[in-house]
Amino acid sequence: MNFITFTETKLRTFTYNVFKKMGCSDEHAVLAADVLIRSDLRGIDSHGVARLSGYVRLWEKKRINATPNIKIVHETPTTATIDGDAGLGLVVAPFAMKVAIEKAEKYGSGWVSVKNSNHFGIAGYHALMAVEKDMIGISMTNASPLVAPTYSSERLLGTNPMCYAFPAGKYPPVIVDMATAAAANGKLEIAQRANKSIPDGWVQDKNGETSTNPNELKNGGSLLPLGSDKDHGSHKGYGLSATVDILSAVLSGANYGPWVPPFVAFLEPSANPVGEGLGHFLGAMRVDGFRPAEDFKNHLDNWIERFKSAETIDPDKKVIIPGEPEHEFEQERKISGIPIIDVVVNDLNDLAEKLGIEGLK
């Protein structure tokens, strides 16, 4: 497995050009590129530029609208439902979070459910928008049905990530950003490219037997919920995934469960949808709605310091604060560049040739 390192500027320009070729406005192309590049900077390579070809293929199938009219279709002082008009989730979700933040600035909190959207990148990007305003950010989305509920062999839920982001004082924000499946599908894609097996407990085959084959989904298998099986708490992962699906889609009018349209363009959406597109749920809460923001941030710093000083089983391993590894990746990659696996680089260069733009050199 070989990596080629690119500067942030190079990848950002390339990604922007791809979205412009899709017909996105300057504003939307800049924003969509920012979401993907932030993912690569933070070390979440499965959701960065590696996803570009997937977005283009969906656009070619007319399942992504490059010039959406994103609008509020239902509203109260503290809540809203947004119709993304089949736009890029990379653009729709930040729009929704801005609405949530504006409501929180006036009323203490804001809650927005979204329908008729698409894949929105990493949940952490959107939740961090609230942190920048001294707010607690919440971000979640449903996704293509790849996960079987506990005791089932049928794919009914997505990896359905959820993120909670908290502003700290002298330390980086605490960011709990996770899939509610045992593993995100992107990790399987990385294992496929590297031709490596995956850990036991991530997937099951079509008969419900555990497997370490990263290609199992192509053979009719399914991802497992967080916890892997009932004895290890999969019913809890199933419950978290169900919560994301209900808040993101049943609440907004998006498709839910097995009706969520697939991210891959070669699979057609359900012929009998129960809603519109994918769904998201975003929230913002003003910290000073509960106590002075500085008091909260000082105590969160204290919380971080106490957990960082915890006694560990292995002296070579320290307790990791949620979001800490991603922050360290971002600091390092902004200086040293972003490594992209050669398989992805080849794919992006093929994409550039097809679109008639400059490739990655």
For range 237-251, the mean pLDDT: 98
Domain boundary among 196, 223, 250: 223
- Please tell me whether residues 174 and 269 are part of one structural domain: yes
Domain of 203: which CATH number?
3.30.60.50
Taking Cα atoms as reference points, which of 234, 178, 191 lies closest to residue 1?
191
* Residues 233 and 140 grouped into a single domain: yes
Which of 198, 223, 248 delimits the end of a domain?
223
Cβ pair 181, 160 in contact under 8 A:
yes
Q: Are residues 157 and 76 in the same domain?
A: yes
Same domain, 8 and 144: no
Lookup: tokens for 150: 């506990």
Q: For residue range 129-174, what is the model confidence (pLDDT) as tens digits?
A: 999 999 999 999 999 999 999 999 999 999 999 999 999 999 999 9
Q: What is the pLDDT of residues 347-359, one digit of tens each?
A: 999 999 999 999 9
Question: How large is the average pLDDT for residues 287-315?
Answer: 97
Average pLDDT over residues 71-96: 98
Domain total in the chain: 3
Whether residue 234 sits in one domain with residue 206:
no
What's the pLDDT band for 193 if we cut at 50, 70, 90? confident
- The reply to whether 321 falls in a domain is no
For residue 52, pLDDT beyond 80: yes
CA pair distance 47, 119, nearest whole angstrom: 10
The parent domain of residue 219 ranges over 183-223
Q: Report the chain's mean pLDDT, rounded to a whole number.
A: 96
Take residue 333 and report the two structure tokens written for it.
């990659």
pLDDT at 1 over 80: no
Helix (H) or strand (E) holding 339: strand 338-341
- Residues, the chain: 361
How far is Cα 276 from Cα 86, in angstroms, rounded to an integer? 8
